[in-house]
A = this chain, B = another copy of it.
Amino acid sequence: MEFTAKDIAGLVGGTIDGNPDVKVNRLARIEDGEPEALSFLANPKYYPYINSTRSSIVLVQSDFQAEQALSCTLIRVDDPYTAFANLLEIYDKMRKGKTGTSSLASIAKSAKIGNNAYIGDFVVISDNAVIGDDVKIFPHSYVGENVKIGSGTTLNPGVIIYYDCIIGNECTIHGGSVIGADGFGFAPQSDNNYKKVAQIGNVVIEDNVEIGANTTIDRATLGSTIIRRGVKLDNLIQVGHNVEIGENTVIAAQSGIAGSTKVGKNCMIGGQVGLAGHIVIADEVKIGAQAGLASNVNKPGSIILGSPAIDISRFRRIIAIFNNLDKLYYRIGDLEKTIKQLQAEKIGDEKIS
């Protein structure tokens, strides 16, 4: 995709200062500028880069004054950062603006596909699946029987959605994620073997959810594992069966939530966190990276850290002591010596007296 300075000025409502026909085909930071790239300049700290940048076009503030003649074309706008962010989005949407169904996809006759959808090569859409309008399903994705996918949702390459699961509108699921595999349920038998407990529930993902690459969300034993609207999950996250994650909660990579745990809304959970099964986390709770929780967090807005996790202020106090535990240890040794001496002196005193 190529754009002229004129095209860009039109998209962001700016005025051109330089060659209106110069072309760009990518975006770059001003300090990494290269020919045919577009950059922006918002922070005065970066002003000096304007003289040396190799970018062909730079977005600057309306009142920007160059100190010397510039080789790049300027586009003047009220807010270069916002203009640039808007361009990012436009660029991103253009790139993803695919439609049409590949002749190499396998689509069951009983499946329904909405208008304006993109179905890539080697995609499988199984019986009775319902795919909404403007959905994009990239190559190698698998949509199981009876799955429903809301409008505007994107499945990146290699996404696997098992039967009966429901995905909302305007969701994005990244490559290799597995939605709806069996929950981990086995009943111990007297001979040390385990008998599988059938997992016949499903996964329900509401609207505006983003799910990273290679994340796994297990189907419920019965009922649904539920990811509420606006939730953002990073890569390689494990969500166990019958878990529920509340609205707009954000979870960083490699965290795991064991079965039947309920996480509140607007929570922020760091990377590599572990939540035990059957616990409840209140709304707006923040959990630090690598924390481990084995019990409920009842107070909304709590900030907790550590494994087992405790309140952040206690954690910080305690970890500071922990990291100097050797000094504490020596102080105790010193105390013991001093006391022994005091006792010895006392006995000496008594003997003397």
Q: A27-B222, A193-B248, A318-B322 are in contact. Are A339 and B336 (CB under 8 A)?
A: no
Please measure, in the bound complex, the distance between the C-alpha atom of A346 and the C-alpha atom of B339, giving whole angstroms: 12
In the complex, chain B residues whose CB is within 8 Å of the CB of A106: 102, 104, 121-122, 139
Q: A142-B157, A319-B308 are in contact. Are A175 and B178 (CB under 8 A)?
A: yes
Partner of A140 from B124, B265, B318 at Cβ < 8 Å: B124
User: Which chain B residue shows the least CB distance to A231?
Assistant: B194
Check if A174 is an interface residue, CB within 8 A of chain B: yes
Are A252 and B322 touching (Cβ within 8 A)? no
In the complex, identify which listed stretch (A11-19, A50-58, A63-71, A271-279) lies at the interface while the others stay far away.
Answer: A271-279
Are A325 and B326 touching (Cβ within 8 A)? no
We find that the number of chain A residues with CB closer than 8 angstroms to chain B is 104
Are B29 and A230 touching (Cβ within 8 A)? no
Are A212 and B184 touching (Cβ within 8 A)? yes
Please measure, in the bound complex, the distance between the C-alpha atom of A253 and the C-alpha atom of B184, giving whole angstroms: 9
Partner of A213 from B91, B181, B258 at Cβ < 8 Å: B181
Are A181 and B212 touching (Cβ within 8 A)? yes
A291 to chain B, nearest CB (A): 9
Partner of A160 from B104, B158, B308 at Cβ < 8 Å: B158
A216 to chain B, nearest CB (A): 4
Partner of A335 from B223, B307, B339 at Cβ < 8 Å: B339
Please measure, in the bound complex, the distance between the C-alpha atom of A314 and the C-alpha atom of B327, giving whole angstroms: 11
Check if A169 is an interface residue, CB within 8 A of chain B: no
In the complex, chain B residues whose CB is within 8 Å of the CB of A325: 318, 321-322
Partner of A346 from B89, B192, B247, B342 at Cβ < 8 Å: B342
Are B289 and A29 touching (Cβ within 8 A)? no
Are B139 and A139 touching (Cβ within 8 A)? no
A304-336 residues with Cβ-Cβ distance < 8 A to B are 307-308, 310, 314, 317-319, 321-323, 325-326, 328-329, 331-332, 335-336
Check if A110 is an interface residue, CB within 8 A of chain B: no
Check if A2 is an interface residue, CB within 8 A of chain B: no
Check if A76 is an interface residue, CB within 8 A of chain B: no
Are A222 and B29 touching (Cβ within 8 A)? yes
Are A342 and B343 touching (Cβ within 8 A)? yes
User: Which chain B residue shows the least CB distance to A266?
Assistant: B192
Please measure, in the bound complex, the distance between the C-alpha atom of A223 and the C-alpha atom of B28, giving whole angstroms: 6
Check if A42 is an interface residue, CB within 8 A of chain B: no
Partner of A238 from B182, B193, B236 at Cβ < 8 Å: B236
15 A–B contact pairs at CB < 8 A? Answer: A88-B198, A88-B222, A92-B198, A95-B145, A124-B140, A142-B157, A158-B160, A176-B176, A178-B214, A194-B230, A214-B214, A216-B236, A216-B253, A272-B272, A332-B335
